[in-house]
Amino acid sequence: MSGKLTDVAVRNAKPGPKPKRLFDGGGMYLEVSPAGGKLWRLKYRFHGKEKRLALGAYPAVGLADARARTEAARKLLAQGIDPSAARKAEKRGEAAEAETFEIVTREWHEKFKPTWTPSHAARILTSLEKDAFPWIGSRPIRELTPPEVLAVARRVESRGALESAHRLVGNIGMICRYAVASGKAESDPTTSLKGALPPAKEKHHPSITDPKELGELLRTIDAYQGSHVVRCALRLAPLLFVRPGELRHAEWAEVNLESAEWRIPAEKMKMQVQHIVPLSRQAVAVLRELHPLTGADKFLFPSVRSSAKPMSENTVNAALRYMGYSTDQVTGHGFRSTASTLLNEQGWNRDAIERQLAHAERNNVRAAYNFAEFLPERRRMMQAWADFLDGLKAGGKVIPIRATAGE
């Protein structure tokens, strides 16, 4: 198309005290602002309403380009399409293309990371980086399909990691539901995958629950010839039956030997709720023995390489292997199963046992207020448990101190 304006006229157009419009024809004009900015615009009518379409800024968009864009808009109008609506739809499409699974995942991870423990947050992201991003990371999350997610999960399943495959699908589902809530997707493709993977077998941590075998293990721990700091960790593990990560990250500032109590901050706990561990006389004795060695450090069990870091997550298990126990016999985590099984057999209140194990509380608000629930009974239970372990270690016939009906 041709019009009234020329390249020279456009280039020499001067600003005035008010916006100035230089018309080219067909509704297209150059708007010159008082500040000197020059914008191409198209005035048109659609369904009886006057509208305007931005065509770009001069000199990035020259006169010929502005006329070409006007011509394209006129062709859309001839087809009954509003050029402004078409422009918005195109931008939405470009935005959707930019919102890939990886980009939305990292946004989701940053948002929820403060609610998780650092190790849990790292595990989630590492799993997605290794098992999902290479195949679906560049896909627009809006276009992700159930077969694509299933293919990702089956790659994990094929290496014998069925539980990890289920966990991966669960995480992808949370990400997609976040995308739906954020307007970045319309549905969660994982909802169609129920039953698509074989059920994962419940994972049990190997543990020793036979009293005679447990007594032998406790005697072996007492005879451990390695680092005395590691030996103290081994002795505390069955007494406290906390998660291995909670034990190795224990700090002296959290422990009160006078009140015989270890208070683990919420941010260190799996369920993000403060946890109280009553300390038996035997546990206090081990801690007093340990204090001269590491009391000046932050952690009870510092790393041999740097006292600013806790000991390695493999240290306790490696010590158990060194003492001759296989991964099928016992692990650091297995002390929790040992305590749970035997304390339940001895008749202690199941709710008190579960609270001491810091197992999941369905209601997070309730959990936040109930970290001290059953505390008097838990104190009695932890002391009775330590006495029971002493009896097993001594090798005699042990009659456990059972909870009474009044407790």
Same domain, 74 and 161: no
Six token digits for residue 376: 């008097």
Angle in degrees, CA 46, 49, 50, rounded to 5: 90
Q: Which of 10-24, 244-258, 313-327, 380-394 has the lowest mean pLDDT?
A: 313-327
Q: Which of 45, 75, 94 is the last residue of a domain?
A: 94
State the pLDDT at residue 214. Answer: 93
Residues 33, 15 contacting (CB under 8 angstroms) = yes
Q: Which of 65-69, 116-120, 226-230, 250-254 has the lowest mean pLDDT?
A: 116-120
State the pLDDT at residue 396. Answer: 60
Specify if 107 maps to a domain.
Answer: yes
Q: Which residue did the predictor score with more confidence, 49 or 116? A: 49
State the pLDDT at residue 358. Answer: 87
What percent of the chain lies above the pLDDT cut of 70? 89
Confidence check: pLDDT of 404 > 90: no
Q: Which of 7-11, 80-84, 360-364 has the lowest mean pLDDT?
A: 360-364
Residue found by looking up tokens 């989630």 in the block: 124
Query: Active-site residues: which are they?
Result: 243, 270, 333, 336, 359, 369
State the pLDDT at residue 406. Answer: 39
Residues 140, 97 contacting (CB under 8 angstroms) = yes
Same domain, 87 and 112: no
Q: What average pLDDT does range 131-137 have in this prediction?
A: 93
Angle in degrees, CA 235, 239, 243, rounded to 5: 95
Specify if 202 maps to a domain.
Answer: no
Per-residue HEC secondary structure of 81-96 comes to CCHHHHHHHHHHHHHH
Burial of 407 (0-12, 13-18, 19+ CB in 10 A): middle
Angle in degrees, CA 249, 252, 253, rounded to 5: 105
State the pLDDT at residue 278. Answer: 96
Selection from 244, 242, 252, 262 nearest residue 355 by Cα: 242
Confidence check: pLDDT of 367 > 50: no
DSSP letter at 251 equals B
State the pLDDT at residue 379. Answer: 95
Same domain, 227 and 307: yes
Question: Which residues span the domain enclosing 90?
Answer: 7-94
Specify if 405 maps to a domain.
Answer: no
Residue 156 CB neighbour total at 10 angstroms:
22
Residues 330, 214 contacting (CB under 8 angstroms) = no
Specify if 338 maps to a domain.
Answer: yes
Q: What average pLDDT does range 83-99 have in this prediction?
A: 70
Same domain, 294 and 364: yes
Same domain, 263 and 378: yes
Q: Which of 34, 59, 94 is the last residue of a domain?
A: 94
- 3-state DSSP assignment of residue 303: coil
pLDDT, tens only, 309-359: 999 988 999 999 888 887 778 889 999 999 999 999 999 999 899 999 987
Six token digits for residue 48: 């009886």
Residue 350 CB neighbour total at 10 angstroms:
11
Confidence check: pLDDT of 368 > 50: no
Same domain, 157 and 261: no
Specify if 122 maps to a domain.
Answer: yes
Number of domains in the chain: 3
Same domain, 129 and 252: no
State the pLDDT at residue 360. Answer: 56
- 3-state DSSP assignment of residue 320: helix
Same domain, 344 and 235: yes
Confidence check: pLDDT of 401 > 80: no
Beta bridge partners of 54: 41
CB hemisphere CA count around 52 (13 angstroms) = 9
pLDDT, tens only, 50-80: 999 999 999 999 999 999 999 999 998 888 8
Q: H/E element holding 41?
A: strand 38-46
Residue found by looking up tokens 């399943």 in the block: 157
What are the percentages of helix, strand and coil residues in the chain, rounded to 5?
55, 10, 35
DSSP letter at 113 equals G
pLDDT, tens only, 37-49: 999 999 999 888 9
Q: Which residue did the predictor score with more confidence, 373 or 190? A: 190
Six token digits for residue 250: 């224990």
Residue found by looking up tokens 């006078």 in the block: 258
Six token digits for residue 193: 């995958």
Distance between CA atoms of residues 62 and 42, nearest Å: 14
Residues 301, 316 contacting (CB under 8 angstroms) = no
State the pLDDT at residue 362. Answer: 43
pLDDT, tens only, 235-268: 999 999 999 999 999 999 999 999 999 999 988 8
CATH number at residue 32: 3.30.160.390
Selection from 69, 68, 144, 145 nearest residue 104 by Cα: 144
Specify if 201 maps to a domain.
Answer: no
Report the predicted TM-score, pTM, of the whole model to 2 decimal places. Answer: 0.54
Selection from 346, 329, 331 nearest residue 382 by Cα: 346
Average confidence score pLDDT of the chain: 87
Q: What average pLDDT does range 124-144 have in this prediction?
A: 92
CB hemisphere CA count around 261 (13 angstroms) = 13
Six token digits for residue 355: 């609270």
What phi, psi does 223 have (nearest 5°)? Answer: -95, 5
Q: Which of 43, 62, 94 is the last residue of a domain?
A: 94
Selection from 323, 358, 296, 355 nearest residue 234 by Cα: 323
Same domain, 22 and 47: yes
Same domain, 321 and 254: yes
Same domain, 160 and 278: no
CATH number at residue 141: 1.10.150.130
Same domain, 340 and 217: yes
Beta bridge partners of 124: none
Q: What average pLDDT does range 377-399 have in this prediction?
A: 88
Cis peptide leading into residue 265 (ω within 30°): no
Six token digits for residue 42: 């198209």
Specify if 403 maps to a domain.
Answer: no
Residue found by looking up tokens 């260190």 in the block: 268
Q: Which residue did the predictor score with more confidence, 287 or 328? A: 287
Specify if 200 maps to a domain.
Answer: no
State the pLDDT at residue 203. Answer: 57
- 3-state DSSP assignment of residue 347: coil
CATH number at residue 286: 1.10.443.10
